[in-house]
Structure 1
Amino acid sequence: MIALIQRVSEASITADGEFRGSIGQGLMVLVCGEKNDKLEYADALAEKVVGYRVFSDADGKMNLSLKTVNGGILVASQFTLAADTNSGTRPSFSPAADPALGEALYVRFLEKLRSLGFNPVTGVFGAHMQISLVNDGPVTFRLCYPKKKD
């Protein structure tokens, strides 16, 4: 599984033209399942996301996690994160999970966030979504579980 996380000052999401919600300080997370992913991967990735230290401490160092700052979390499914871009000028999406598995992984990811005490603002799996955000400098990381081998 892949999660692209971005630290935000605020973010909001609309799915198929319907406003879904907004957050203040926190993380905007795009999440994607891949072909051979297992549901347990969603649990591990959710834990990694909320524990990842991307917020600044009093010394200006990224030492604080979403848990520590009690931030909000906005989550949307994004199958294009699995794109194979190694050849040509058109991406292949063959590494992405099929829609049924992708949705199951997305739902499990959200369930794990809730079990960890977060109330994520979410998009709708497979919907056309628009995300608006304000950040305090583009701080963006790609997290994977299991770890990708180079």
Structure 2
Amino acid sequence: MDRNITSYSNSTLSTNKRKRHSNVHLSTLPAFNPSNDWRVYCISQRTNTSLLHYLIDLARKTTEYTIDTEHDCVTHEAALIQVEFIRRQSVVLLIEVCHLPPASTVTFWLIKSLLKIILGPSNIIYSWGNAEHELSLFIDYELFSWSILCQMKNIDIQTAFKT
């Protein structure tokens, strides 16, 4: 029994040592500087309808996006959709699905309309992994339908990096 505890402790020490070494190595790298300007908007129940109208108008003028999703680290439930409008000045949306307004509100309808435009078949969606699969985990929030996901034009850039 003591042998297992010692083994676990050595493993933990080894992992911590590797993490420290990695942190020291990464701290010597230059700071990341994005190649273009960007703005971030958090989309939730508090989002102003004027902002959503502005974003809808901008989405109608944009044809390329990147999409990524995140899950709650405790519950493992779908929690965040991150969308980047690829433009000279990028716009990044952080859609907090656990903090959306009720489906009967104008704000919810505008968020749903915005996503319908973004995921439209004439746009290109770049993702790290299969965006249709990732976004399918958000269907229960009623922000988009299966039919919208099936018609989306997704380019999984992870596949290109594997080669």
Structure with more contact order per residue of length (Cα contacts < 8 Å, sep ≥ 6): 1
TM over 0.5: no
TM (norm. structure 1) is 0.28
Larger radius of gyration: 2
The structure with the largest strand share of the pair is 1
